[in-house]
Structure formats: structure tokens, C-alpha cells
Structure 1
């Protein structure tokens, strides 16, 4: 991999040098010696690489065998059902010559000379492509940039890898594509048809460029028909003038009709001639054989992606069948729709710019990039032809974005093809390898850059707006309606959140045992049938079990039993008819909180010698009729709630895979209310309640309107994920709470300017943001994701202040929005410097201190100091998360979260069983469909507002949302839908901001009614799904008929 990185780095350096050279405006004469050096040096590099590399084994073997076969059998015997041949006849003519040369000179198979011979056609096409790029640049008056453009192609590692190392022939096919575009640029439609036919004979992928040829034909047909015909001379004779006028109109119609027919013939005849020529070229091979070969090639590789780093590769779907269904639609249908959308976009841009012919190289690049990125069945090399087209597009219409796209796609395409060439192993293929995901993400970014270039140069030009200095936004004070809404929603939600949260009492006294210590229990002739136990803090405690009958004095082994989960009532069936039991611990230690024995009728049996073990039988009244979430831990509470107990008792932590802060907060609830279900859940539930007024304040500040802010508050309060995730003793509620606070404070900071208010007032929200960031990171590492988003927002705000400073320096004696430019000039440097120093303290030093201090109750590696314990735990945490390969039946991947494809099922209990199903209890975590599904178009609306209208609020929301969501795109370990919880904060805010934009276009009453109805739908869905969110009894038939909207929604036991 090091060699690949070094090659990519060399390519980046070459492209950087070329970009620097193209930007220079120096006039100089191009030396022919320089051109010779460029071409011969690049040719030497290629020949050396070709001689040293055997390329992709199967491809090299195919080309070698095909060359020999066609030379020996001729075209007529080449295609055969017994031989694998998946290339059309065009390149076989080239291989015929290769086979003849090898036979004539008796070149040894796979020798350096043979490898060079096999790769020579593609290498020569590389050279010709470079020459065409150079000549086109000179032809278009870009003589100074021509050598650099040529070098950017000739020394591109992706180009060299394809032809000289791999041994593929994409440059031969791309040469035809280049000729096609240049002919269309010059309005030479017949020559363009010839180029298209030639490319189609070389590779069927030429069909992907058919829309480009169609665009050229449309332009030809839609071009001005005739020149304006001058009006006849004035005439005094009115009748004669009318006759001449009528005759002129008739002749004009005939002329137009004749021109249209002539143009249609000019478009049709070259195409027919090319088809005839292709048939003649294919005749020696047998038309039927060629026809079958084309169809078999087109139908091959029916997968979502074939080693391609594109959209499908980004989803981890390489080598996944294209018939796999997503939301009821097979991938192949989605891919076909993507192709149709890309073609429609290209034709639309072409139609809009039909008067210019410089568009074709760019449209060709956009076409192949769009199809490669979003269509199914794409191979890693299908992007190759976009590279020369992007250089030609820059020549036609210079643009930094176009050249940046070329550079980005070059480096990423190099990584894609190099990874396949050197590391592809079908037996151990990892569809979610980090390199595949990262390169795919880069491809998507470059695609966005290319679309931006299209919008910039082929969209409607917009008049630039004058730069304005922004003043601090004044905080709108809360009115009575705000306070009423905020506290009403909080009160109602608080009632739901605290109701049936969990029992307030649980066994607390413990009997501690050490290895080989025994418990002997005598039931006085009664036979226990079930042991119900409650243990802590160590799980999976194994005991050897022995029994004794009344009539016998001997102990008989009954095997071993294992007491599993902690702080949970669990049952073990005792299948032996004995009245005396002896438990002997085989582990190093155990702590037993309560034992309860039941007979066959379910009645409690108390051993006659229970007084020998008072701590074990003193809380039998707490034994529940059924184990449930009300009296026991469920899901990851057995880790995080247990750690809270361990912190309070100075024990080592079984769960040390997350930072301690969240578990410290859980421990705070336990310290106040006891180690019981209510105690270990209350802290999260209270923070969930506190989130409600905070999100209202955030929305009120951001939206500046009571009704949309109320909607945001309701949507978040009664989102299913918010409700469920804050009632379980895990740490996700704490990171989400701190994310909400840190972005609330950062938004407040971004609304302020140190030009018109004292600096210390801007630092208050900034400092609060830094403290919350430290608490968030100390709760869960995903707080770092949030920190990255905060950094982007902060530096964007500071950059805005710099632009205002730069603007003020141009007119120092003027003012903007009541702020003196002289004041801006005087304040920028000291205020910006002090702000950065302040951030170093509150965003670097203070979070580090908070993180370190959170390890005070952490007793693992107790022999080490605080700093050493913390640092060692970072290593173990990273090792755990990076090597986690476990699977879970209710796990889900990032792109399934917004559409709620698979909820995570936390808890289930069968309350009763009847013929119709009976009652069930269940707790699942997923989103309110009215919220999460609406968040998808709201996100794209924010992107539109940001890109189209430069809306800074939309930019803030998108940044915050992606900071929480985007990193999960690259996580290959098992993930769950609750990882989306911090993103929901921004989902509801994006929905609210979308409503604000809509308010500008609809009457006030209609807007209010729409908000009330939408909020009512969200509340109604919360009420509908409440039983499976809160673990309340519900009919199984109701769940199956009304709540299980999709098969993947498992909400209760069947």
C-alpha cells in the first residue's frame, strides 16, 4: 500500500505543478524539444512499467490468448461457445496484428517484450490522447497552458496504471470518445458518427455516450434554419405588392421544409453509413456471433457494483446482486432510474445551451461520471474516459472547478483501480473496507464539485450581491405564549417519561462468596422447582449443584448452573426431586443479592435454615411475579447501569469501552434513589425532560417565531427515539443532551459579532459551548464528531469577520450597517487573536481536563496514576471498537436509519396467551415516521437553500446534522439505529426551518393550520405506538395489524 500512496502523492505533485503552470500568465514560446521530452519521457515510463508488471492476471491471459487465437483461426473461427471472448471485433483486429508480431519474432510468453507488445496499443493511444489535448489547447488559443495540460494527462498515475501496469485498453476506447466530442465541437456530425461507431466496435460501453451523440443531432436539427430573408422593395402597386408578399411567404415555407428535410438527411445518412461500415467490419467474424457477444457482454455482471467506488460502493454493496430489494424496489430499477435522470440532465443542459458547441466534452464527462456513480453494474474502470474529457472541457471553457474535478477523480480513480489490481481477493473480499468507503465518499464529493461546475458555467448567471457587514442578531425575548408552550409540552412529556419508569425498590443486601465456598439449603421435605435469583455486580457465576434425598445421607451431583445477568430477576429450573441443595462456587468470587425458590405451583419456598444466610433471603417480598423491565435491567443497562454501581463501590469496571462521564451521571441517580430500576434510569429521563425546553429555546432563537418553535418542540419531545432512549440507562441520552447544548451555544455565538458588542459577551456562549463539548466527549467518543462540526462553524464565523475586515480596509472612512469601518479595522486583530486564545483554553485545555477528571471514579488499573489509567483505557477502547466483529439480529447500517428500516428491539414479554395472540409487552427504539421521514426532504431543502441562496442558517443545520451522521458512513463495525439519535436534534430543526421558508409563500391561517395538523399527526403516531415504546401491555393482533408497518419492524414477541 505504501507504493500506491507514493504513486498517488507523485500524481498530486504533478497535477499541482501543472495547475501552477496553467495559472501563470507569462508569455513564452513552446519549445519543440520540451514537447519531445514530455512525450518520450512519458513513453519511457510506460514501457518500463509495462515490462515490469504482468498486470491483472486474467486480463493479460485473455489478451495474450485472443491475439494468438485470432492469428491462428482468423476472424471466422475466433468466437466460439467453448472459448471465453467478451470483447467486440474492433479490438480483435488490433490483437490480430499483435498475434502476428509475436508469432513472427517468436516472442516468449509473458516475457518483457511480450508484455510490452500486449500493452503497446493502449500506450500508443495514451500518447495520441496527449497529442490531441495539446493540439486542442493550442487551437483554442491556450498555447501557454497546452504543455501543462498535456503533462497532466501523460504523467497521470491513473492513466499510466490503466494501460501500462494493468494492461487494459480503456485509452483506445477513450480515444474514440475524444474524437466524438471534438467532432461535435466542430459541428462535424458525420465524423462524430464514425467516432461513435469505432468506439462501439472497441467496447460496448460506447453506448453510454449515445445521449451525447443524440444531443449533437438535436442541436443540428434545432439550429437556425435559414437566414432572415430581406423584405421585398416597396411597391406603389398595392395588388402587386400583396401578390409578391404571398409568394414570398409560400417560398419561405417551402425553404424551411426543405431545410428541415435536408438536415434530417444529413443526420440520418452518416448514421446509416456508419452502421453499414460496422456490419462490414463484423462480417468476417459472423454477424450472429458478434450479435450474441454484444448481448452476453451487456448482460454480464448482474451486481449493484463490480469493484466500483461509487454510490453503491459507498453503501457497501459491491458484488451484491442487482435484484436485491430496497423499499420494495430492486437495485437494478433504481440504477436504471439513475441513468434516465443523468441522461435527462445532460440533454436539458445541452438544450439550454444549444447555441454553444464547447459544451460537449463537459457534458460527456458529466454523463459518464453520473452513470458511473449511480448506475448498477459499474466496474472500477468505467470512469476512465471522464478524465480526458475533463481536460478538454477545461480547454473549451476554463474553470477551476473543472480542473479540480479532474485532479480529484484522477487520484480517486487511481486508488480504486490500484486497490482492485493489487489487493482484490474474491475469497476474502471486504465490501466495507475503509479504502473502498473513503474513496467512494471522495468520488461523491468530486461529483458534487462537477455538478457545481455545471451550475456555474452552464446555468443561469446571477448578478453578484454586494458584500454586507453583518451586525449581531438581537435576541427576541420570550413572550407569554412561548413560556406557556414550553412548559406545557415539557410537563406533558415529563408525565409520559416518568410514568412506569421502573420499580423504586430492588434487593440491596448481598451475600459475598469466594471460590469453593458452599451454600447448603434445607427445605424440610419440600421440593423446590424453580430458583429465581438476583445477583451483582459479577455476571456468569458458575456453581456446582448437588442434591440430597431425605432417605439418603449422600450428596448427588446435579451438574452445574450459571447465574447470568446482573441486577435482573432470572429463573433456573431445578429438575431433581430433592429437598436439600448445596451450591458450591467454582468462580473466584460472587455476590448474591437474593435467592427465591418456588414450588411447582409458583408459591415461594423458604429454606428452614434461611436464618443461616440472612442477606440472601431478607428481601423475598421484592420478588416479582414476572421478570420485566420494571424490576430488571434490559439491553445495555447490564453494562452501563452496572458500571454506575461499580463506580459508587470503588470496583473495577466490567464495561470500559466508553468514557466514564455518562456512567457517572447514571451513578448520580443511583446515589440519590438507590440501585433500582428507577434509580439507574432517572438521570437519563430527567435530561430527556430538560431537552424539551432547551430545544424550544434553540428553535425560538433560530426560527424567531412561536408557532414553528412549538412544532419543533413537539416533534422532538414526542419522537419515539427521544422517548425510548432517555428511559433506558445507557449513555446515548447524555451525548445527545450535550450535543444539543453545545450547538445551541455555538449558534448563539455565530449570531454575535465582536465589531458591535463587547468581546466578552461573545465569549460567554463560546465558553459554555466548550464546556459542553468537553462533557460530551467525556460521555462518548462521538462527541468528537460534534466537535468537528463546531470547528467548521466557528472558523466559518471567524472567516466572515475576516472578510468584513478585508472589506473595511478597502474603504476605511466608510461604514456599513451603522458600524464604522475604522472600528472594524481596529478591532479585528486583537479580538480575533483573543478569541482564538480563548478557544485554545475552552475547546482544547478545558475538555482535556474534564475528560481526565471523569476518570476519578474509574478504578481499573488502580496501581497506575490518574493520567496513566486514562491513557491506557484509550488504547483498550480503540482496540475494542476497531476490532469489533460481532453481529446482531437488529443491527442496521447508516443509510437505513432515516427511513426506519429496522428498529432495535430492546425488550419483550408475553403477558398472556390466547387463541388470538394475547397480550404482549415490548420496547423498541426507532423514529417517529412523521418526523424522520419528513427530515429527509427537509435535509435536501437545506442543501438547496445553502447552495442556491447562500442561507447561513441552512448551512449551520446541515453542518450540525452531517457532523453527527456522516462519520457513521465509514464505520464498518456493527451499528444500530440509536446511533442516529444525536442527528434527530437537527432533523426537527431542519423541518422547522423548512416551514419558516414555506410561511413566506402561503397565507397565515393556512400556515398555522398546516403546522397544527402536522404536529397532530406526530402526536397521534406517538399515541398509537406508545405501548411498544414504553413496554405497556398491548394485544399481539393490534401490533401485527396496526403497528408492524414493515416485516423488518419486530416490536413484540409473536
Structure 2
């Protein structure tokens, strides 16, 4: 108990420090590029259309654009950054007005990830490492510094997962509140983009696995439960207390209702099509979209995402000096650039590559446990050691299934896809890496502790090294080139 009292203040200070770092990274120089960056060209205009009740067609659900519109409305009311404005969306807007809410959402994301990590293990050090890793990723930083919508999809999806995990620790009487909040957030995630359904799929998969394990244990008899008195308090056991009707209501009916409600303002503005007709039109748009560099130069295959084979350049401008107005249009003649401003939507290479290894290690660990459990039907004492007696199983199963739910469905997608579609999956890979690093740091073996420290050091160094292409800081051509390790990164 004395140790716990000493740990809580340091944990709180640690999480507060991570949040302040995240806040500074997201809000520093938010209005530096007084233009529409990448898909801001669409989303800021759509958001302004909602504010002016102008009809529009968008290939995604409208919630993300509502959020940008809300940011514009609040920003204009409080006159955020009115000294820097542009009229690229059809009216004079300051970049801060259409970016600040995204930046705030991105700043809060490490706290949500840390909350998930804590709910999984109740280990403050794991939560702190997971939050730090999320703060030190470049793709999440870039996506939330501009008026784009992927950050809302991930934020609502992870918040729904956090509420779901919180519900598992509640008694039946108080559980419904957290389950309802989870369903609302997951419906909101789908209301940003359809791939928000992956967060719902992850919950369904873990619930099915929990019930399958319970039935398998019953088949082996009561002897398999000996020596596992605390198992009744595990999240997997608590999950089987959620019955099918509750799952269907909280993770079927409620998300569907929220999703429908999200469309009401859009349908009131765009009266020429009904709900189902509009969805057929959107589905047809995605089905007709082809793949390859002719469609978009930064299309990338799903299997290339974990390795960061093809990141996306959101902004590239050249200038003769650091005081010249940016963006400079038209671009300077070839060979005359002295300063490069580049915004690369790419992950932290050290974090992404180590996370890819970590998720593979967890898949291997899970496969080993399942194999031992299946092949030891005659030795209940031995099988209990591997599956499902250890608390680590819950964390491994949760991370692997949610990663698979957010990543593997992209195998069947044939249209042009981009690396930012991996954001929902890679966050669970971050959690997997943080889980391993936290275990290594607490290991009695010096080599494992050194591995944990080295992993954190490499991630921090890599983040600082590539930070200029996340924030769009001025670089010399030589400094830019040393950060582009592969031709496919340019």
C-alpha cells in the first residue's frame, strides 16, 4: 500500500507531462501554412457548406466534417488567429479556426491510449509507456494538426473501447452506463468513416472468444478450474457475464441509432436523396475507384503499411530563404531551392517497425498457448498453466484480435488505399510494443531491461530526427534527403 501511494503521484505527473508534450506538439505553429493542406481542400469546404446549409456530396459519413465545422464556428466566434486568413474555402477563414479542434483531439489521444493500457493490466508504467509511444508517432501528429477526419475515427473508436473495458469491471447494475457510452462512441466512429466498424468487430471477436473458452472449459470438466480461484475476476470471465442480447443492443442497436442520427443534418441540407439512396451512391463511388499510381501517386497496398513503404506527402514547398512567404506559388525553378518545407504523413519508423515485430511476437505467443492447451487434453494441470489461467492472456488476446479486426479486412479492398487507413490497427501494435517493453523493464534479466531502454531510446531519437517533416520545419535540401531513406518515401 505504501508503494501504491508513492506510485500514484508519479504516475499522475507522468501522464500530465505526456499530455503537455502532446499539447505543445499539436498546437505549435498550427497556422504556419496558410493554405488548405491535402484533403483539407475537401473537408474544410464541406464543413463550411454545412455551416451555410449548402448541398454537397461526400464519399464518407459526415461526422468528421461536423467537427471541423464546429471548430470553425467556435474559432470565428472567439476570433482565433484572425491575423492570418485565407479565402480558399469560399470565405475568409483562419487556419487555426479549422485546425484547432483536430489538434485538441489529437492531444487527448495519448490519454485515451494510456487509459486502455491501464484498464488492460492496471499497471501504471504500461499506461505511461503506451501514452508516450502514441505521442511520439508522426502520422498521428500530422493527421491531427490539419483539418482531416481520420483522427476523429480513431479517437471515437478507442474511446468506445476504453468505455467497454471499464464496463467489464462494473457490477451488473452499473455496467449498462459504460456499455451505452461505448456503443455511442463506436457509432460515432462509424459516423466518421465506415472503417470505424473495425472497432466494433474487435469487441465482437473478443466476446466470442471469451464464450468459446468458457464452453471449452466446461467440456474439460471442473478439474481444469482448480488453482484458478482468481480467474472469476478476470476480464475474460467478466466478459461472459455480458449476454448476447446486451451485445446486440449496446454494440448493434445503439451504434446503428447513433450512425443514423449523425446523418440527419446532412439529409436536411441534401434533400434530393434519401438515406439508403445516398449510401448506394457512396458505395458505388468506392467500388468504381481503381488502384495504382494513375489514380493517385501515393496509393499503397495494405501489406506495405507496417513497413512504411509508401507514406503520403501532404505538403511540399520550396523557398529561397526562411523569411520568404510559404506556400510559394508558383514553385521555384528546379535547382534554385535553398529551403524545403515538407509535411510527410508517415509513422515514426522506429516505433512502427518495432511495433510490427511486437505484434508478431504476441501472435506467436498466443498461437503457442493455444497449441499447448489443445494438445494437453489429458493433462489439465499443464494446460491450465498456458490457457487461460494467466492474466497476460487477456491482454495478448485483446491486442491481437483488435489489431486483426482493424488491419486484415483491408486485404479484400481493391480500390486505392493510403497508409493513414492503418491508423486504427497500428495503435494496437503500439500497445503491444509498450506491453513488451514494460515487461522487459521489470525483468530481473539485465539483457531484457537493456532491450526495453534501447527501444524507448530509439523511438525518442527517431521522433526527434523526423520531427521536421512532421511539423513542416525549414530544411536544407541535404537535411531533407538524409531523412528520405528510401526512394518510395518521396
TM range (shorter): 0.7 to 0.9
- Mark the CA change 1:670 to 1:828 in structure 2 (over 3 Å): closer, same or farther: closer
Q: Is contact 1:490–1:692 with CA below 8 Å preserved after alignment?
A: yes
Partners of 2:228 and 2:426 in 1: CA distance: 38
Q: What corresponds to 2:421 in structure 1?
A: 979
Q: What corresponds to 1:768 in structure 2?
A: 181
Q: What corresponds to 1:465 in structure 2?
A: none
| 1:957 Cα offset (Å) | 0.8
Q: Is contact 1:738–1:776 with CA below 8 Å preserved after alignment?
A: yes
- Mark the CA change 1:714 to 1:739 in structure 2 (over 3 Å): closer, same or farther: same
Q: Is contact 1:650–1:857 with CA below 8 Å preserved after alignment?
A: no
Q: Structure 2 unaligned runs (5+)? A: 77-92, 233-237, 322-333, 371-392
- Mark the CA change 1:707 to 1:785 in structure 2 (over 3 Å): closer, same or farther: closer
CA offsets per residue over residues 404-451 of structure 1, 9 Å max, x none? xxxxxxxxxxxxxxxxxxxxxxxxxxxxxxxxxxxxxxxxxxxxxxxx
Matched, 1:891 2:299: yes
Q: What corresponds to 2:347 in structure 1?
A: 927
- Aligned match for 2:146, one of 711, 723, 728: 728
- Mark the CA change 1:872 to 1:915 in structure 2 (over 3 Å): closer, same or farther: closer
| 1:765 Cα offset (Å) | 3.4
Q: Is contact 1:703–1:992 with CA below 8 Å preserved after alignment?
A: no
CA offsets per residue over residues 659-692 of structure 1, 9 Å max, x none? 1111111111111003431111112111111111
Partners of 1:861 and 1:668 in 2: CA distance: 17
Matched position secondary structure for 2:148: coil
| 1:997 Cα offset (Å) | 4.6
Matched position secondary structure for 1:479: helix
Matched, 1:945 2:365: yes
Q: What corresponds to 2:285 in structure 1?
A: 880
- Aligned match for 1:484, one of 10, 13, 18: 13
Partners of 1:818 and 1:1026 in 2: CA distance: 46
Q: How many residues align?
A: 426
Q: Is contact 1:680–1:729 with CA below 8 Å preserved after alignment?
A: yes
- Aligned match for 2:245, one of 813, 817, 837: 837
Q: Is contact 1:490–1:689 with CA below 8 Å preserved after alignment?
A: yes
Partners of 2:150 and 2:253 in 1: CA distance: 24
CA offsets per residue over residues 127-174 of structure 1, 9 Å max, x none? xxxxxxxxxxxxxxxxxxxxxxxxxxxxxxxxxxxxxxxxxxxxxxxx
| 1:1037 Cα offset (Å) | 1.4
Partners of 2:311 and 2:278 in 1: CA distance: 31
Partners of 1:677 and 1:772 in 2: CA distance: 28
Matched, 1:740 2:180: no
- Aligned match for 1:681, one of 95, 99, 111: 99
Q: What corresponds to 1:1026 in structure 2?
A: 467
Q: Is contact 2:318–2:340 with CA below 8 Å preserved after alignment?
A: yes
| 1:1016 Cα offset (Å) | 2.7
| 1:843 Cα offset (Å) | 1.7
Q: Is contact 1:703–1:993 with CA below 8 Å preserved after alignment?
A: no
| 1:816 Cα offset (Å) | 6.5
Q: What corresponds to 2:192 in structure 1?
A: 779
| 1:800 Cα offset (Å) | 4.3
TM-score of the two chains, using structure 2 as the length reference: 0.79
Matched, 1:910 2:313: no
More divergent stretch after superposition (901-910 vs 766-775): 766-775
- Mark the CA change 1:929 to 1:1002 in structure 2 (over 3 Å): closer, same or farther: farther
Looking at secondary structure, tell me which structure has more strand per residue: 1
- Mark the CA change 1:920 to 1:863 in structure 2 (over 3 Å): closer, same or farther: closer
Q: What corresponds to 1:453 in structure 2?
A: none
- Aligned match for 1:1046, one of 459, 482, 486: 486
Partners of 2:297 and 2:229 in 1: CA distance: 59
Q: Is contact 1:703–1:996 with CA below 8 Å preserved after alignment?
A: no
Partners of 1:799 and 1:768 in 2: CA distance: 26
Looking at secondary structure, tell me which structure has more helix per residue: 2
CA RMSD across the alignment = 2.9
Matched position secondary structure for 1:848: helix
Q: What corresponds to 1:346 in structure 2?
A: none
| 1:971 Cα offset (Å) | 0.8
Map 1:422-437 → 2, pairs under 5 A: none
| 1:818 Cα offset (Å) | 7.2
If asked which structure has higher relative contact order (CA below 8 Å, sep 6+), I would say 2
Map 1:992-1011 → 2, pairs under 5 A: 992-998=434-440, 1002-1003=444-445, 1010-1011=451-452
Matched position secondary structure for 1:782: helix
Partners of 1:799 and 1:880 in 2: CA distance: 39
Matched position secondary structure for 1:885: coil
Partners of 1:996 and 1:819 in 2: CA distance: 23
Partners of 1:972 and 1:1006 in 2: CA distance: 44
Structure whose CA Rg is larger: 1
Q: Is contact 1:861–1:869 with CA below 8 Å preserved after alignment?
A: no
TM-score of the two chains, using structure 1 as the length reference: 0.38
| 1:1031 Cα offset (Å) | 1.5
Partners of 1:855 and 1:961 in 2: CA distance: 28
Q: What corresponds to 1:817 in structure 2?
A: 229
Q: Is contact 2:106–2:141 with CA below 8 Å preserved after alignment?
A: yes
| 1:777 Cα offset (Å) | 0.7
| 1:907 Cα offset (Å) | 0.6
Q: Is contact 1:653–1:860 with CA below 8 Å preserved after alignment?
A: no
Matched position secondary structure for 1:857: helix
